[in-house]
């Protein structure tokens, strides 16, 4: 069977379908998933076990056999907990075959094969009865079907079907119930992730089209590590509210529902954003609770456990609404079988509109074309001021300017500065239409021409028969995942060579790849080996992940928004490669080797990589590191781009002796111009004492 997976092609700026080995892409999916993170989540595991043990006890006290149904078993951990707690038998359902095979090996290795049956099906396909997948219905339902939004992985339909078809008339559920919390806030920072705000560019103030201002946005939640958002970045307009509960011990419905809550505004301001999270009671009494609440709710107490598989939610209201202190409001959480969204009304203004009860859908195109980081980048006034200063140096009144970036406002800057002719290229028809709307709204529709073409497809006629004297870019492309994927600009510049005037100005002049060795506060957990968990041997999962990553681990980094994941710089930031955009892409590979000397003691778990762009000889912009605290090494990262993170293969707890040992992190990097990829390897080496 042929398997295809999507992969960014930096040479074309597109996502290509690449044929892989039959199991390769699946194993990669497991390896890059949050299984290790969940297994390392001791708080989660302990509370699940307490809830399971109590549920088994309640069933036994009724004089019944404890028959468990575990939906989405993953590694089989919760099923093994159930048998250890005294359950008589467990049916463990896992639809994903490579994971089901791994769970079977783990169950057998731990001696539970006679008590646990792994069923490789979707729970809705499971049959009960003689000759069926289950001999009889279960009376304990254990699940871990939850995501950051609680219901986003289809928990409600799965519960609804299981309770109707696979459970006895009376059952125990672990978790027993979940509660969703919300807080209404004003936040310019978070609102800038959702709207194109008025922006001063040169002599122009750019405004977004009316349909973009009124657009409710997309249905996907913005999930973040809310602990890393400073409390100074938002102002609470309400208390924390329990907006709705799901009782898993009762029949669950996946039907759409609305949950209104009356509130009184704590302050005057602009209601823009709803912060949300949930907690789970593992037992009916609510004595065992697993909570996702942000740490700043209890700043004086011990911080809660770090998690990446479950975070917190940011929901954007359909529109900004001014509220007065003490004003009575109604905040409504709407949910269907997969999504949650919020609306806000003033009390006394009638019932919720039919529109607000519908799942939000973008009608302006911006929320489909741009993600939250891109909105933030476009709204970054300081960043745009640096581009403005650079363009003032680079452009002249007779410049024929071509911009090669997706959804860029640089053409507006070029027009403000006074370039004679301005063209901009967009990679998709939707992006083309979006930018044309923005230009028309700002009366620039006849001054900036949008080309929806590939660089290879541009003709002399497209450029009015003239040569380009200024080729400009941010660069930014919507398909880019890793920092160096935006080197697509270099390939575009090469393809456009015949259309460039002699002595063409190229902005940015060049890009450079930077790297530093890092100690991560928590991020290391998602890739740390996990050979045992709560006393069970789960090394089969660790072996499978290790084997599937043997090749890639020595060559690839992962994209992460480092502002959400605190880390310490153990080495000085180092420039390791430079790409000169004034020249065409070279035919030969470009390689570099060297060492990062670890100037601070700590646990070196990997390296962080990012790009910096030299706009002019004097002006540059960074998509990564902004500042390092001299004494502590704490890093401040650019918040509107993802950085590349390379995890070392051996993530071991540091010993005091090891952390004091002088070391180097040696690196070897190779840029392949045929693929546009950067292959890399890092090795930690002890430095010999002199």
**Residue positions annotated with a catalytic role:** 144, 153
Q: For residues 668 and 589, is the Cβ–Cβ distance under 8 A?
A: no
Q: Which long-range contacts (CB under 8 A, 24 or more apart) does 39-45 make?
A: 39/75, 39/77, 39/530, 39/533, 39/538, 39/541, 40/525, 40/528, 40/530, 40/533, 41/305, 41/307, 41/309, 42/305, 43/290, 43/304, 43/305, 44/290, 44/305, 44/307, 45/77, 45/533, 45/534
CA distance 380 to 384: 6
A 10 A CB-CB count for 251 gives: 11
Q: Which residues of 32-44 are buried (b: 16+ CB within 10 A; e: fewer)?
A: ebbbbbbbbbeeb
Q: Looking up tokens 């195109």, which residue turns up?
A: 365
Residue 23 phi/psi, 5-degree rounding, is -105, -10
CA distance 414 to 400: 10
Q: Cα 401–407–411 angle (5° rounding)?
A: 25
CA distance 603 to 36: 19
Closest listed residue to residue 308, CA positions, set 95, 527, 143, 483: 527
C-alpha distances (whole Å) from 396 to each of 391, 417, 420 are 9, 8, 8
CA distance 197 to 381: 10
C-alpha distances (whole Å) from 46 to each of 131, 208, 247, 284, 469 are 36, 50, 21, 17, 65
């Amino acid at each position: 069977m042929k398997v295809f997976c999507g992969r960014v092609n930096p040479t074309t700026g597109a996502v290509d379908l690449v044929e892989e080995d039959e199991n390769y892409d699946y194993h990669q999916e497991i390896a890059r998933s949050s299984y290790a993170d969940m297994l390392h989540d001791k708080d989660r595991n302990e509370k699940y076990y307490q809830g399971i043990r109590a549920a088994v006890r309640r069933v036994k006290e009724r004089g019944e056999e404890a028959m468990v149904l575990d939906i989405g078993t993953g590694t089989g951990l919760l099923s093994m907990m159930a048998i250890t707690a005294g359950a008589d038998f467990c049916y463990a359902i896992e639809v994903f075959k490579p994971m089901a095979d791994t769970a079977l090996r783990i169950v057998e290795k731990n001696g539970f094969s006679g008590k646990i049956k792994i069923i490789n099906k979707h729970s809705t396909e499971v049959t009960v009865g003689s000759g069926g997948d289950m001999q009889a219905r279960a009376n304990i339902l254990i699940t871990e079907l939850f995501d950051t939004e609680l219901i986003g992985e289809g928990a409600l339909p799965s519960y609804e079907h299981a309770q109707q078809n696979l459970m006895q008339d009376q059952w125990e559920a672990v978790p027993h119930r979940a509660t969703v919390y919300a807080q209404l806030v004003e936040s310019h920072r978070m609102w800038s992730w959702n709207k194109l705000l008025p922006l001063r560019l040169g002599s122009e103030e750019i405004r977004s089209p009316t349909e973009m201002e009124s657009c409710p946005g997309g249905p996907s939640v913005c999930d973040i590590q809310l602990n890393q958002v400073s409390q100074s970045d938002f102002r609470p307009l309400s208390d924390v509210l329990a907006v709705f509960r799901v009782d898993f011990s009762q029949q669950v419905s996946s039907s759409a529902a609305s949950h209104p809550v009356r509130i009184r505004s704590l302050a005057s301001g602009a209601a823009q954003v709803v912060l949300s999270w949930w907690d789970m009671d593992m037992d009916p009494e609510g004595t065992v609770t697993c909570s996702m609440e942000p740490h700043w709710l209890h700043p004086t107490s011990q911080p809660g456990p770090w998690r990446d598989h479950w975070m917190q939610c940011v929901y954007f209201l359909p529109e900004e609404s001014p509220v007065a202190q003490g004003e009575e409001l109604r905040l409504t959480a709407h949910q269907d079988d997969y999504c949650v969204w919020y609306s806000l009304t003033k009390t006394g203004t009638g019932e919720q509109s039919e529109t607000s009860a519908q799942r939000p859908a973008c009608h302006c195109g911006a929320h489909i074309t741009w993600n939250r980081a891109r909105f933030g980048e476009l709204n970054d006034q300081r960043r745009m001021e640096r581009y403005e200063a650079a363009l003032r140096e680079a452009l002249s009144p007779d410049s024929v300017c071509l911009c090669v970036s997706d959804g860029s406002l640089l053409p507006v800057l070029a027009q403000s500065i006074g370039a004679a002719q301005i063209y901009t290229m967009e990679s998709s028809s939707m992006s083309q239409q979006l930018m044309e709307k923005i230009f028309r709204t700002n009366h620039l529709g006849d001054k900036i021409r949008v080309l929806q073409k590939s660089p290879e497809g541009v003709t002399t006629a497209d450029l009015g028969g003239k040569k380009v004297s200024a080729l400009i870019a941010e660069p930014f492309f919507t398909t880019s995942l890793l920092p160096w994927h935006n080197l697509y600009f270099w390939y575009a510049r090469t393809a456009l060579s015949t259309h460039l005037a002699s002595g063409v100005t190229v902005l940015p002049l060049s890009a450079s790849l930077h790297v530093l060795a890092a100690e991560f506060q928590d991020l290391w957990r998602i890739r740390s080996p996990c050979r045992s968990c709560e006393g069970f041997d789960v090394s089969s999962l660790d072996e499978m992940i290790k084997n599937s990553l043997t090749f890639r681990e020595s060559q690839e980094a992962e994209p992460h928004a480092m502002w959400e994941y605190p880390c310490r710089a153990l080495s000085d930031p180092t420039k390791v490669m430079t790409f000169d955009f004034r020249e065409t892409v070279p035919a030969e590979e470009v390689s570099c080797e060297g060492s990062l000397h670890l100037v601070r003691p700590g646990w070196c778990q990997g390296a962080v990589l990012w790009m910096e762009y030299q706009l002019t000889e004097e002006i540059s912009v960074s998509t990564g590191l902004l500042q390092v605290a001299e004494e502590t090494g704490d890093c401040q990262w650019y918040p509107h781009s993802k950085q590349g993170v390379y995890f070392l293969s051996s993530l071991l707890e540091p010993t005091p002796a090891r952390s004091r040992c002088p070391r180097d992190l040696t690196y070897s990097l190779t840029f392949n111009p045929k693929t546009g990829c950067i292959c890399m390897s890092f090795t930690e080496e002890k430095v010999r004492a002199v």
